[in-house]
Amino acid sequence: MDIELDISWKKLLQDEISQSYFLSIIDLLNTERAAGKIIFPQSKWVFHAFNKTPFDKLRVVILGQDPYHNPGQAHGLSFSVPVGTKPPRSLINIFKEIQSDIGVEMPLEYGNLTHWAEQGVLLLNAILTVRLNEPASHAKIGWMDFTDAVIKKISDNKKGIIFLLWGNFAQQKQTLIDEDKHFLLKAAHPSPFSANRGFFGCKHFSKTNELLIQQGYSPIDWKLFTPTQQQIKFSNEG
């Protein structure tokens, strides 16, 4: 598996990706794929979050846990699904909160969050790969050592980053973040099992934009357009 990283991340993480534990992760993935194991996301998308949100453009981090383990869902961005795949229930709950929070109507049949990533929202899963129909199957192969290092390097080398930590798993990562330099917004996970216990009503999307504006940055455009809407939008703008 080739490691394709945006140059700004590669420079920051060069010491990490040359360590033996990281090379062992890549060897294991190559071995499992060669043995016929189906692993998500595809190799080209394992580092998709880093390539869609270069380090020098990073402003917000939304931390997920594990990639989706069903076919056609995972594409390297936490909570996001590719074009043509219906949003899972957690993502639908995220959209419901956006609609309630900032009054933006979301296309509930479409869940590709690339538009957010391109604006500086790092959609990072703590575990970057998973086997088909085996949730958390790669939780102990070393990915969390890598993504913990990523979070720590963001904390050490940036200032004013807004971390959205949803659920207990994500909130455990706050020990890696310097709260004197950054902003932590915490809520329940948007899963159907917990969204009613503090995710709905958290207003993280408006709060994120308020914090960005306070720092002199443009707010995130949280609205998503379906592929058809994008074609109409770009045609009208042209």
Handedness of CA 166, 169, 170, 176 (dihedral sign): positive
What average pLDDT does the chain have? 93
- pLDDT number for residue 107: 85
87 upstream amide cis, omega within 30 of 0? no
CATH superfamily membership of 7-224: Uracil-DNA glycosylase-like domain (3.40.470.10)
The more confident residue out of 218 and 225 is 218
Backbone angles phi, psi at 48, to 5 degrees: -60, -40
- Burial class of residue 155 (count of CB atoms within 10 Å of its CB; 0-12, 13-18, 19+): buried
> Which pair of structure tokens corresponds to residue 202?
């958290």
Would you call 66 a catalytic residue per the annotation?
yes
CB 45 within 8 A of CB 75: yes
| Global pTM value | 0.93
- Sequence-distant (6+) residues with CB within 8 A of 76 are 41, 45, 46, 47, 48, 49, 67, 128
Is a pLDDT exceeding 90 seen at residue 3? Answer: no
Is a pLDDT exceeding 70 seen at residue 236? Answer: no
Strand, coil or helix: what is 72? coil
- Sequence-distant (6+) residues with CB within 8 A of 220 are 59, 60, 116, 119, 120, 121, 205, 208, 209, 212
Distances (CA, A) of 220 to 151, 177, 204: 21, 22, 12
Range from 37-51, 188-202, 224-238 carrying the lowest mean pLDDT? 224-238
Rounded to whole angstroms, how far apart are CA atoms 230 and 104? 16
Chain segment 16-30, per-residue pLDDT in tens:
999 999 999 999 999
Catalytic residue among 27, 66, 148, 156: 66
> Which pair of structure tokens corresponds to residue 44?
């080209």
Count the residues in the chain.
238
> Which of 34, 65, 67 shows the shortest CA–CA distance to 48?
67
Rounded to whole angstroms, how far apart are CA atoms 129 and 39? 7
Chain segment 142-179, per-residue pLDDT in tens:
999 999 999 999 999 999 999 999 999 999 999 999 99
